[in-house]
Amino acid sequence: MKHTIIKDVFFDLDHTLWDFDKNSELTFETIFNRNHPTIETKEFIEKYVPINQACWKLYQYDKISHDELRYNRLKHSFDALNYAISDEEIESIAQEYIQLLPENNHLFDGTFEVLDYLNQKYKLHIITNGFAEVQFKKLNNSNIGSYFQTITNSEMAGVKKPNPIIFEYALDLAKAKKENSIMVGDCIEADVQGALDAGLDAIFFNESNVPIEQNIKQVNHLLELKKYL
């Protein structure tokens, strides 16, 4: 059922519009080919993805710092592979990864089409927990930055999703009302429940088709947003 009162649509960026997993794997492949050719990128990624997710969850709730996130996700992944590497090398990879990541800009299928469609009807915005400098580069390098009237990141707001303060910050920046706003994102906890708790409506981008509660609005492909908006 289409929403008739919505005026502002807020999107998450990573894993929602910007294909983080694909871009991340390509970035690591470039780094390893240059400096650590014995590492099989696919094997590393199998270890890295769940470790990175666990580290991000800790970072999301301020249990580790930005620097600890960048170090721990690599250190724990290399340990899981039994690959000997120094702290200096890990720091070098962490810096190179952040520099190179926005150079790979694969988007989810349907991104441009759905943004073109929504842009004619709504004001579009971004709310992201990602690092400000990197997120701006991703938006600009992938040619989707011009679709969004405001971009809120956790560094600006001082807190991360699902903290309601970041949603309030984004609403104020967008001059939007929560009753006329909706959030689209891939994380049930940070994007969907965070938005709902802050008083916005929400749609779960369930690209992996994970089981969820029936009462949660969801799409498996971005173009399915046309059912709601």
Rounded to whole angstroms, the Cα distance separating 217 from 224 reads 11
pLDDT above 70 for 3? no
Rounded to whole angstroms, the Cα distance separating 41 from 25 reads 7
Question: Rounded to two decimals, what is the model's pTM?
Answer: 0.93
pLDDT above 80 for 1? no
- Residue with tokens 């400000």, as numbered in its chain: 132
For the stretch 9-66, pLDDT in tens is 999 999 999 999 999 999 999 999 999 999 999 999 999 999 999 999 999 889 999 8
- What domains, with CATH codes, occur in the chain? 8-19+107-227 (3.40.50.1000), 20-103 (1.10.150.240)
Rounded to whole angstroms, the Cα distance separating 65 from 87 reads 17
**Residue 4 confidence class, pLDDT cut points 50, 70, 90:** confident
Rounded to whole angstroms, the Cα distance separating 97 from 189 reads 26
pLDDT above 90 for 177? yes
Distances in Å between the alpha carbon of 150 and those of 164, 174, 181?
18, 6, 14
**Residue 207 confidence class, pLDDT cut points 50, 70, 90:** very high
pLDDT above 80 for 7? yes
Distances in Å between the alpha carbon of 38 and those of 44, 83, 209?
11, 10, 34
**Residue 181 confidence class, pLDDT cut points 50, 70, 90:** very high
What pLDDT, on a 0 to 100 scale, did the predictor assign at position 130? Answer: 86
Mean pLDDT of 162-177: 98
3-class SS letters over the chain: CCCCCCCEEEECCECCCECHHHHHHHHHHHHHHHHCCCCCHHHHHHHHHHHHHHHHHHHHCCCCCHHHHHHHHHHHHHHHCCCCCCHHHHHHHHHHHHHHHHHCCCECCCHHHHHHHHHCCCEEEEEECCCHHHHHHHHHHCCCHHHCCEEEEHHHHCCCCCCHHHHHHHHHHHCCCHHHEEEEECCHHHHHHHHHHHCCEEEEECCCCCCCCCCCCEECCHHHHHHCC
Give the distance, in angstroms, between the CA of residue 87 and the centroid of all CA atoms in the same chain. 27
What pLDDT, on a 0 to 100 scale, did the predictor assign at position 117? Answer: 98
What pLDDT, on a 0 to 100 scale, did the predictor assign at position 160? Answer: 94
What pLDDT, on a 0 to 100 scale, did the predictor assign at position 214? Answer: 84
